[in-house]
C-alpha cells in the first residue's frame, strides 16, 4: 500500500497583484466566475483509516493545491511572453494540449506572444538552429484532429544552463513543458536554475505518458486513446486465434515498468486469457509454468489470446550491461519476440501444431489523434496549466487526483514512478476476467 511522505507547497514568483481578466470582463448581472482560493485543498489520501490515524496524531492532513483560475494573477498579460515545448515520445493528445494552452492564453487572458519551441529541448540550443513558431489561433486551428505534435519532439538531455539562457534571451515569463518522467526531471532542473539566477520565470509541467505511470497522477492524457486502440488489436488477435486449430494471438502493448495499459485493455475487451505485466514475476517452465498453462488452454478451448506489456519478463534476459536510449531510459529487450519464439519452440518440441499471430500496435497508438475523452481531458489540463502559470505559480505539474485537478510539486513527483498494486482491484479484476494462473515457481 502506497504511503505519501513529501511536501505539497507550491512555489510562487511573488505576490499576485494583477486583477484577473476573467474577473474584469464579467458583465453586469452575469453570474460571477468560480475562482479558486489558494486555501482550497484536496487531500492526498482519502482512505478513512489513514485520515483518522493522521488526525489522531494531531498532524495536518497532506493536501494538494486545487487547480483553477485565481482572482488575482502575477503577470501583466499585455507584457507577457510564453513558450510551450513537447518532449519525448509521441502521444495522443499533444496537439490538443498545445491548442488548449494557446487559445486560453490568447482569448481568455489576452496574452499576445506565445512561442512554440520546435523539437523538444533541442529547440532552446542555438547549434541545432530549429525554427520557433509564433503561435496564434490560426496556427492551432484543427490540429486536434491530427496525431503527433505540430512542435515535433526529440529525446535526449540538453545543457540546462543553455536552456535558461535562451529563456532569458527570449524574455519568456511562462514555460509550459509537456512530457513524461524524463521531461519532468528536466523541468525540475530548469526551474532550479531559474531560481538560482533569481529570474521571474514560471515553469509548468503537463504530464504525458501512455503508460499512465507518473507518480501522483491518477490519469495521464493519451491513456484512454491507447486503451481504445489496444482493444482493436485484441479483437483482431482473438479473431485470428479462433479461426485456426490451436490458434494463439500474442499482443505486445506499451508499459515499460507498469502494466496499467495491458490490464485495462484486457478488461475493456475481455478476450484475453493471459496478461503479463512488469509488476508480476512469471515462470515459463514447469507444471505451473506459463507455457504449460497455454498448452492446457489449447487442450480445453483450442485457442488462446495473450497480452504482454513491453516491460514484462525482463528477468529472462541475461544482459549484464544495461544500454540506455538518448532520454536515459534503459533499453528493454523485446519480450514479445522472445515469447513468440519460446511458445513456438515449446509446441514444436511436443509436436503440437499451432498457428501463432504476433501483433505490436505500439507506434500506431502513439501517433494517433486523441479520442473524444482524451481530447476533453487535454483541454482541461491545458486551461489549468495556464491558470497556474498566470497566477505566478511555478515548479509544478497539473495532475488529476481524487477526482480533482490539482497542482503537484515537481519535487514530489519527478524521478518517481507509479506501479500497479497486485492486491488492488485492477489486477484482481484481470485475474478474475482471464482466469489465468499466477505462474509461480515450482
| Residue positions annotated with a catalytic role | 211
**Spatial CA neighbour of 365 closest among 227, 217, 260, 209:** 227
Q: Which three cell numbers stand for residue 297?
A: 488452454
Nearest to 334 by CA among 355, 357, 316: 316
CA–CA dist 427, 394 (Å, integer): 36
CB 413, CB 215: distance < 8 Å: yes
C-alpha grid cell, residue 152: 515535433
Q: Quick one: the chain helix, strand, coil %, rounded to 5? A: 40, 20, 45
Burial of 292 (C-beta count, 10 Å sphere; 0-12/13-18/19+): middle
Q: Nearest 5 degrees, angle CA 71-CA 75-CA 76?
A: 95
d(CA 126, CA 107): 31
Looking only at Cα atoms, what is the longest distance across the chain? 82
State the Cα angle at 270 between 266 and 275, rounded to 5°.
40
Closest among 428, 411, 410, 179 to 279, alpha carbons compared: 428
**Distance in angstroms (rounded) separating the CA atoms of residues 100 and 87:** 17
Return all residues near 358 (Cβ < 8 A) that are at least 6 apart: 250, 252, 336, 337, 340
Residue 308 C-alpha cell reads as 504482454
> Rounded to the nearest 10 degrees, how much is the dihedral formed by the CA atoms of 224, 229, 232, 233?
-120
Instruction: Please check whether residue 400 is in contact with residue 221, taking contact to mean a CB–CB distance below 8 angstroms.
Output: no
Distance (Å, rounded) from C-alpha 360 to C-alpha 221? Answer: 21
Amino acid at each position: 500500500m502506497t504511503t505519501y511522505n513529501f511536501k505539497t507547497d507550491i512555489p510562487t514568483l511573488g505576490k499576485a497583484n494583477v486583477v484577473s481578466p476573467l474577473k474584469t470582463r464579467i458583465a453586469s448581472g452575469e453570474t460571477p466566475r468560480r475562482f479558486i482560493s489558494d486555501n482550497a485543498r484536496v487531500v492526498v489520501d482519502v482512505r478513512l483509516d489513514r485520515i483518522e490515524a493522521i488526525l489522531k496524531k494531531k498532524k495536518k492532513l497532506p493536501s494538494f493545491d486545487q487547480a483553477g483560475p485565481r482572482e488575482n494573477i502575477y503577470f501583466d498579460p499585455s507584457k507577457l511572453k510564453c513558450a510551450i515545448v513537447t518532449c519525448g515520445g509521441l502521444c495522443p493528445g499533444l496537439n490538443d494540449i498545445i491548442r488548449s494552452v494557446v487559445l486560453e492564453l490568447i482569448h481568455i487572458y489576452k496574452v499576445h506572444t506565445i512561442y512554440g519551441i520546435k523539437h523538444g529541448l533541442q529547440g532552446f540550443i542555438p547549434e541545432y538552429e530549429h525554427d520557433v513558431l509564433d503561435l496564434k489561433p490560426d496556427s492551432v486551428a484543427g490540429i486536434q484532429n491530427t496525431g503527433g505534435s505540430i512542435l515535433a519532439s526529440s529525446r535526449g538531455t540538453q545543457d540546462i544552463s543553455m536552456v535558461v539562457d535562451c529563456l532569458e534571451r527570449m524574455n519568456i515569463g511562462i514555460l509550459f513543458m509537456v512530457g513524461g518522467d524524463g521531461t519532468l526531471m528536466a523541468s525540475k532542473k530548469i526551474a532550479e536554475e531559474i531560481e538560482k539566477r533569481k529570474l521571474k520565470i514560471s515553469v509548468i509541467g503537463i504530464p504525458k505518458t501512455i503508460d499512465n505511470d507518473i507518480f501522483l497522477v491518477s490519469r495521464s492524457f493519451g491513456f484512454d486513446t491507447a486503451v481504445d486502440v489496444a482493444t482493436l488489436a485484441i479483437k483482431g488477435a482473438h479473431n485470428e486465434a479462433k479461426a485456426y486449430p490451436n490458434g494463439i494471438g500474442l499482443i505486445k502493448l506499451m508499459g515499460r515498468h507498469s502494466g496499467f495499459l495491458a490490464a485495462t485493455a484486457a478488461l475493456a475487451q475481455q478476450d484475453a486469457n493471459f496478461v503479463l505485466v512488469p509488476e508480476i514475476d512469471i515462470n515459463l517452465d514447469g507444471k505451473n509454468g506459463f507455457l504449460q498453462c497455454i498448452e492446457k488452454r489449447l487442450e480445453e478451448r483450442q485457442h488462446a489470446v495473450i497480452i504482454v506489456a513491453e516491460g514484462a519478463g525482463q528477468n529472462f534476459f541475461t544482459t549484464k550491461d544495461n544500454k540506455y536510449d538518448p532520454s536515459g531510459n534503459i533499453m528493454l529487450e523485446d519480450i514479445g519476440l522472445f515469447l513468440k519464439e519460446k511458445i513456438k519452440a515449446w509446441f514444436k518440441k511436443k509436436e503440437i501444431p499451432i498457428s501463432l499471430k504476433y501483433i505490436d500496435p505500439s507506434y500506431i497508438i502513439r501517433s494517433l489523434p486523441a479520442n473524444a475523452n482524451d481530447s476533453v481531458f487535454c483541454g482541461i489540463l491545458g486551461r489549468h496549466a495556464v491558470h497556474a502559470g498566470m497566477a505566478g505559480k511555478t515548479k509544478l505539474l497539473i495532475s488529476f487526483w481524487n477526482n480533482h485537478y490539482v497542482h503537484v510539486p515537481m519535487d514530489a513527483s519527478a524521478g518517481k514512478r507509479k506501479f500497479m498494486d497486485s492486491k488492488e482491484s485492477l489486477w484482481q479484476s484481470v485475474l478474475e476476467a482471464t482466469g489465468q494462473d499466477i505462474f509461480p515457481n515450482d
